[in-house]
């Protein structure tokens, strides 16, 4: 009898039904959440996850479960150590979405430098004269700071360097790079005109950017966060924007998601907001879905997956 596998419908389509062709019984749903999974197939052997949180009580309700394959990089929605104790692999797809996220960061930088959000609003409000008077700044006149030099940070640095932009980099582990200069934490915030955050969500990075960092930043500088909402102390960010401590921000992630409709960030003309779509391109999703599908196939064939983020007790 074939193992049951639950995966997002779009992932099944983007992989040309890879797992079905491998002989598995594939059950599709838009974005598998815990309630959906248990209703559809509590006897499933594998689940491809997108973004919904999985609680630790799911394992006793899914006795056949062998792998939770994250279609993405971050895995903070799964307690990976607890999963390992239940004999369940957790995998991710490192690097698969790096170019797409880096492209979005680059787009945000251009939008911030040209005051795109406000220009767009004034144009729609038939205030052409006001929009025309908003002089932008060339990106090549800026110093761009990249915090976190993993797959996304490295790809972003490569793209910026190709455009002739000066890049500075902070990472806890300094690496040699032809695309920028490594600087200290404080120097990063004091120097950069735009800071782009690309850190993993771990206990050590929770609210790592707060009052102190915003006070270091220049009044004309801006912040981009395409990583995780909890990296920034959101109340400190709101204060910094309201009090012109910094000039603007572009945010794809928030402390609470979906973002509360009363959040002051939604009302600010100097803030670009999107709904956690940094990797939302066809190309990135196809890569992520295929890697996740291959991790599922590997585990269900009895082998150890290449991109495991835990080490199950089996």
Residue 37 has pLDDT above 90, yes or no: yes
Residue 314 has pLDDT above 80, yes or no: no
pLDDT number for residue 125: 94
Other CB atoms within a 10 A radius of the CB of residue 125 amount to 10
Going by their DSSP bridges, the two strands 222-225 and 248-251 should be labelled as parallel
Instruction: Cite the active site residues.
Output: 228, 257, 276
pLDDT number for residue 175: 79
Query: Smallest Cα–Cα separation from 37: which of 9, 28, 60?
Result: 28
pLDDT number for residue 52: 87
CA–CA dist 259, 256 (Å, integer): 5
Cβ-based neighbours of 235, under 8 Å, separated by 6 or more: none
The tokens for 132 are 């025309």
Q: How far is CA 40 from CA 4, 56, 189, in A?
A: 10, 18, 48
pLDDT band of 14, cuts 50, 70, 90: very high
What count of Cα atoms within 13 Å lies in the side-chain half-sphere of residue 200?
16
pLDDT band of 174, cuts 50, 70, 90: confident
Residue with tokens 């603007």: 248
Cβ-based neighbours of 71, under 8 Å, separated by 6 or more: 8, 11, 48, 49, 50, 93, 285, 288, 289, 292
Q: Which residue has the higher pLDDT, 272 or 77?
A: 272
Q: What is the pLDDT of residues 39-59, one digit of tens each?
A: 999 999 999 998 888 999 999
pLDDT number for residue 1: 79
Report the percent of the chain where pLDDT is more than 70.
Answer: 100
Instruction: Judge if pTM exceeds 0.85.
Output: yes
Other CB atoms within a 10 A radius of the CB of residue 220 amount to 12
pLDDT number for residue 76: 86
Cis bond before residue 258 (omega within 30° of 0): yes
pLDDT number for residue 77: 87
CA–CA dist 42, 40 (Å, integer): 7
Residue 243 has pLDDT above 80, yes or no: yes
Average pLDDT, the chain: 96
């Amino acid at each position: 009898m074939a193992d049951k596998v639950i995966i997002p419908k779009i992932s099944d389509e983007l992989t040309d039904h890879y797992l079905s062709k491998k002989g598995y019984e594939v059950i599709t749903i838009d974005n598998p959440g815990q309630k959906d999974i248990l209703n559809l197939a509590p006897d499933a052997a594998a689940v491809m996850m997108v973004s919904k949180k999985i609680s630790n009580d799911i394992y006793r309700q899914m006795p056949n479960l062998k792998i939770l394959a994250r279609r993405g990089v971050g895995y903070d929605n799964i307690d990976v150590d607890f999963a390992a104790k239940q004999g369940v692999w957790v995998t991710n797809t490192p690097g698969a979405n790096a170019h797409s996220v880096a492209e979005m960061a680059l787009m945000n930088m251009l939008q911030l430098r040209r005051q795109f959000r406000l220009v767009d609003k004034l144009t729609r409000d038939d205030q052409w004269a006001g929009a025309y008077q908003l002089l932008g700044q060339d990106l090549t006149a800026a110093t761009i700071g990249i915090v976190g030099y993993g797959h996304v940070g490295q790809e972003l640095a490569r793209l910026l360097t190709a455009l002739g932009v000066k890049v500075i980099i902070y990472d806890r582990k300094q690496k040699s790079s032809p695309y920028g200069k490594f600087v200290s934490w404080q120097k990063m915030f004091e120097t950069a005109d735009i800071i782009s955050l690309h850190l993993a969500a771990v206990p050590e990075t929770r609210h790592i950017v707060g009052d102190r960092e915003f006070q270091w930043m220049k009044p004309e500088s801006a912040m981009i966060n395409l990583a995780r909402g909890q990296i920034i102390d959101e109340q400190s960010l709101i204060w910094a924007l309201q009090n012109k401590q910094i000039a603007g921000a572009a945010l794809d992630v928030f402390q609470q998601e979906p973002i509360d409709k009363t959040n002051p960030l939604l009302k600010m003309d100097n803030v670009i907001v999107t709904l956690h779509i940094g990797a939302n391109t066809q190309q990135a999703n196809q890569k992520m879905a295929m890697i996740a599908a291959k991790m599922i196939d590997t585990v269900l064939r009895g082998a150890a997956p290449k991109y495991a983020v835990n080490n199950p007790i089996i």
